[in-house]
Amino acid sequence: DHMKSFLQELPKCEHHLHLEGTLEPNLLFKLAERNKIQLPSSFPKNIEECSKRYASFEDLQDFLNHYYVGMSVLITEDDFYDLAMAYFTKAEQDGCLHSEVFFDPQGHVERGVSVDLVVKGFDRACRDATKKLGTTNKLIMCLLRHLPASNGMETIKSVEKYHQQGIIHGLGLDSSEKPFPPGLFIDCYKEIKQKYPNVGLTAHAGEEGDYNYVIDSLDKLGASRIDHGINSKQSNELLARLAKNKTMLTMCPLSNVKLQVVKDVGELPINLFLQSDVPFSINSDDPAYFGGYILDNYISVHTRFGFNINQWAKIVNNGIEGSWCDDKRKSELK
Ligand code: HPA
Ligand code: ZN
């Protein structure tokens, strides 16, 4: 219909998507068979059972427990390539012109998969997506905050050459937010900032943790944007700071509902962020698990908030400005 095609045509950018979270049940079961992976008996047996399991998660941890088992079917470079290529294809159909995507190397290395084939598979898909679809993209490596920072440092060392080659463009922090505050990872962020000043810094904060997680991500990690960040609503002083510094929050409406951060998209502090001039973008997080890609997330917001053309123009413009691409690409996106 009209609303959907209007939202489809907006020049959208994705800033908060975990590639491992795009693993659709059909690909998951196909790879489990191809790689002879025996999934635990508690895991859904087929696509139908997946849709029941994914109807709702108790909280972030309940989802993560499932997500780490799901990704265990990814073994070969082609698996990582196929996963990312399926995502880029879907994103292009949704009218997403630029994607900055997370991956979790520790989730694979822990299971004995080499970090090299993870990065090579994902990077090859990134290049092919640009060649075949004309969309642009960047890889952001995330550290798992439930693992020790020393493991994060080893992970950073293990991908040194991909930083030098400009294949990894950002550093993020994900997994169980509480009780793993940003301050635990000061050295990891410092290492990247000193060695690779062009690499963007972000961190998940203020999804389940309170607004102090956001403040610490800015002060202690030097993050230039914040993933989720919705609990910034708890502090007017923080909102003013985000607005003044144009620090973008990468919101994920359908994720917040599925993980029971809010009961309904309409409860998200989107009007507060708009009124406070806090830039935000609208994103997918783990679309295979949360029931929708970027366009579905835009639709969910439009259905609740009914923004007009000028408001949407401001939202997508903030998304372009908050992207980590160069000014030339930004002007093409507008
Ligand atoms: N939050 C934290 N870690 C994650 C998420 C999330 O929403 N998705 C995948 N890893
Ligand atoms: Zn996330």
pLDDT for res 321: 98
Percent of the chain with pLDDT over 90: 99
pTM above 0.90, yes or no: yes
36-53 pLDDT, tens digit per residue, is 999 999 999 999 999 999
Say which of 207, 237, 267, 321 is annotated catalytic.
207
Mean pLDDT of the chain: 98
Classify the C-alpha dihedral 143-145-151-153 as positive or negative.
Answer: positive
Mean pLDDT, range 292-305, rounded to an integer: 98
State in Å: Cα 286 to ligand 1 middle. Answer: 8
CA distance 59 to 64: 9
92-148 pLDDT, tens digit per residue, is 999 999 999 999 999 999 999 999 999 999 999 999 999 999 999 999 999 999 999
CA distance 293 to 92: 11
Q: Please report which confidence band the pLDDT of residue 1 belongs to, taking 50, 70 and 90 as the band edges.
A: confident
Binding-site residue ranges for Zn(2+): 16, 18, 204, 285
Told to judge if 207 belongs to the known catalytic residues of this protein, a careful annotator would answer: yes
222-260 pLDDT, tens digit per residue, is 999 999 999 999 999 999 999 999 999 999 999 999 999
State in Å: Cα 66 to ligand 1 middle. Answer: 12
ipTM above 0.90, yes or no: yes
User: How many Cβ atoms from other residues are within 10 Å of residue 240's Cβ?
Assistant: 13
CA distance 298 to 276: 20
Mean pLDDT, range 17-29, rounded to an integer: 98
Q: Which domains does the chain have, with CATH numbers?
A: 2-325 (3.20.20.140)
CA distance 138 to 98: 8
Which ligand number lies closest to the CA of residue 143? Answer: 1
E strand spans, the chain: 12-14, 96-103, 136-144, 168-174, 200-205, 225-228, 248-251, 280-282
The answer on pLDDT for 73 being more than 90 is: yes
Q: Which atom of ligand 1 is nearest to the CA of 259?
A: 7
